[in-house]
Amino acid sequence: MPRGLTADAANTKIGELRQKAQRRRTRAIDVQNRYLTNTTKIVSAEVGTVVFGILTGIVGLANNNYVTNLVEINGIESVVLFGIGLGIGSLKGLIDR
């Protein structure tokens, strides 16, 4: 044992080091789980927003006389729906910031 270090002081120091190591382990696990949780939330929010945009576009197109006379939706209308969904997703991103 080093000079001036009693058994009680050594036990206290060991306890402090164990607590410090435990806090670091807990913090590392929290950081790791935080990124996993946030990724899931972000992806689900973005997908939900795009789907909402597409559904909004479908309702808008269904009320349009040009579309109601169509038998099926062509590629152009599909691109319009996709664009509306992406646009609403982008607007959500701006609002979140």
Do the domain assignments include residue 18?
yes
Radius of gyration of the chain (CA): 29
User: Which residues span the domain enclosing 38?
Assistant: 7-96
User: What is the chain's mean pLDDT, rounded?
Assistant: 76
Do the domain assignments include residue 1?
no
86-95 residue pLDDT tens: 777 776 666 6
Do the domain assignments include residue 2?
no
Do the domain assignments include residue 68?
yes
65-80 residue pLDDT tens: 655 665 677 787 777 7
Return the SS3 of 51. helix
Predicted TM-score (pTM) of this structure: 0.41
- Count of structural domains, the chain: 1
Residues 6 or more apart whose Cβ sits within 8 Å of residue 61: 67, 73, 77, 80, 81
